[in-house]
Amino acid sequence: MTVPERLPRDFFARPTLTVARELLGARLVRIEPDGQRTAGIIVETEAYIGEEDQGCHARAGRTPRTAVMYGPPGHAYVYFTYGMHWLFNVVTEQEGFPAAVLVRALLPTEGLERMAARRRNRPRREWTNGPAKLCQALAIDGSFHGADLCTPEAMLFLEPAVTFPDESVTTGPRVGLNTVPEPWKSIPWRFMVRSPHLFLT
DNA sequence: AGCACGATTAACT
DNA sequence: GTTAATCGTGCTC
């Protein structure tokens, strides 16, 4: 039995748009304390890039909340919003430059029963089709904020899995930036796989 | 110290 | 289509 391959720090230490595109098809894996894996294939991401990006939390500069985004790539930036939801990002670019990729949707592949239970037995398609939903399904919360996703010991990490061709990928404006000024509100930094099931052989 | 609002979701009409 | 839920964060006083 070989150690499962994990995406290395070099993967994340690249331009954020490249990482956001290439994370489509990667598998996000959570290993729970009892050893159970819950995982899914990433099918939607968004890029948040630097202090100039008025949609990025780092627009406010370095604060206690955003400090992780200024740190080394390949770490988790997990934050709490709307008083009840956790959202999971991966830090990108070189240390010192604040940027991250928000993971917005997965196709569930492992630990299906646990996902269903944590998603209150809703239909399968509603388990991980939103950034807060996938955090609930995989039990990702603030305890992972700042966690290194690239070490062999990490209990939350990414694995290479599927390659989605460019024809299957669409882009568009990022979601939920209603009060953000242009051009940041409309810049197409959202990446989606159109019909992911057609490409899963 | 107070306040407005958010990288959302679920349950409405 | 609309709206309540619910609280940490960052900004203003």
In this complex, the answer to whether residue A100 has its CB under 7 A from any atom of chain B, a nucleic strand, is: yes
Closest nucleotide C1' to the C-alpha of A66? C9
With distances taken from each CA to the C1' atom of nucleotide C9, the closest residue turns out to be A65
pTM, 2 dp: 0.96
Rounded Cα–Cα distance for residues A9 and A61 (Å): 24
A7-50: pLDDT as tens digits: 999 999 999 999 999 999 999 999 999 999 999 999 999 999 99
Confidence category of residue A199, pLDDT binned at 50, 70, 90: confident
Amino acid A3 CA to nucleotide B10 C1' distance, rounded Å: 40
Amino acid A131 CA to nucleotide B11 C1' distance, rounded Å: 19
Q: Is the pLDDT of residue A74 over 80?
A: yes
Classify residue A164 as exposed, middle or buried by CB count within 10 Å of its CB (0-12, 13-18, 19+): buried
Amino acid A176 CA to nucleotide B10 C1' distance, rounded Å: 17
Q: Is the pLDDT of residue A2 over 90?
A: no
Protein-covered nucleotides of chain C (CB closer than 7 Å) are 5-11
Q: Is A61 helix (H, G, I), strand (E, B) or coil?
A: coil
Residues A40-61, mean pLDDT to the nearest whole number: 98
The domains found in chain A, sorted by start residue, are 9-193 (3.10.300.10)
In this complex, the answer to whether residue A82 has its CB under 7 A from any atom of chain B, a nucleic strand, is: yes
Q: So what's the pLDDT on residue A159? A: 98
In this complex, the answer to whether residue A64 has its CB under 7 A from any atom of chain C, a nucleic strand, is: yes
Phi and psi based region of residue A25 (left: phi greater than 0; alpha: psi -120 to 50; beta: remaining): left
Confidence category of residue A197, pLDDT binned at 50, 70, 90: confident
Rounded Cα–Cα distance for residues A133 and A113 (Å): 15
Q: So what's the pLDDT on residue A1? A: 65
Q: Name residues 4-63 of chain A with a Cβ under 7 Å from nucleic strand C.
A: 57, 60, 63
With distances taken from each CA to the C1' atom of nucleotide B5, the closest residue turns out to be A82
Residue A162's alpha-carbon distances to A48, A140, A193, A198, A200, in angstroms, are 24, 23, 12, 12, 7
Phi and psi based region of residue A18 (left: phi greater than 0; alpha: psi -120 to 50; beta: remaining): alpha
Rounded Cα–Cα distance for residues A166 and A5 (Å): 24
Amino acid at A39: A
In this complex, the answer to whether residue A117 has its CB under 7 A from any atom of chain C, a nucleic strand, is: no
A121-172: pLDDT as tens digits: 999 999 999 999 999 999 999 999 999 999 999 999 999 999 999 999 999 9
Q: Is the pLDDT of residue A3 over 80?
A: no
A79-95: pLDDT as tens digits: 999 999 999 999 999 99
